Amino acid sequence: MIVSKAYADIIQPGSIGVSVTDPNVLTTALVGGVISITALAFFIFLIIGAVKYVSSGGDKAAVQSAQKTLTNAAIGLVLTAAAFAIAILLQSILGINILSVSI
């Protein structure tokens, strides 16, 4: 009985979950998350394209498919780098800290 009462004092209704009151924190989390996910997707597609290329066995259609996968992965990497550069540009123009979290 005493332990459950202690827990009731610590956890208040509405205190569980994520509550973002500062839009800068939300923007930072979103930009960082999107860039991280796209970088991870690039790495996965790079591995998939390499495995397809190695396992093509000289089949021309399979080699072209692997090259297309690798090309699309490289395009994704360039777009991710461009998004990061745009985020840095917006950070300097607007004067808000988009790319680093300060708690």
CB atoms under 10 Å from CB of 35, counted, come to 16
Crossing angle for the helix pair 23-54 and 60-94, nearest 10 degrees? 160
Q: Which domain holds residue 77?
A: 22-94
Cβ pair 59, 71 in contact under 8 A:
no
**pLDDT tens, N- to C-terminus, the chain (103 residues):** 444 444 445 555 555 555 656 666 677 777 778 878 888 999 999 999 999 999 988 899 999 999 999 999 999 889 888 888 888 888 888 887 766 655 4
Q: What is the pLDDT of residue 11?
A: 52
Domain count for the chain: 1
pTM of the model: 0.63
Establish if 38 belongs to a structural domain: yes
Q: What's the DSSP call for residue 11? A: S
Establish if 83 belongs to a structural domain: yes
Cβ pair 94, 38 in contact under 8 A:
no
Establish if 102 belongs to a structural domain: no
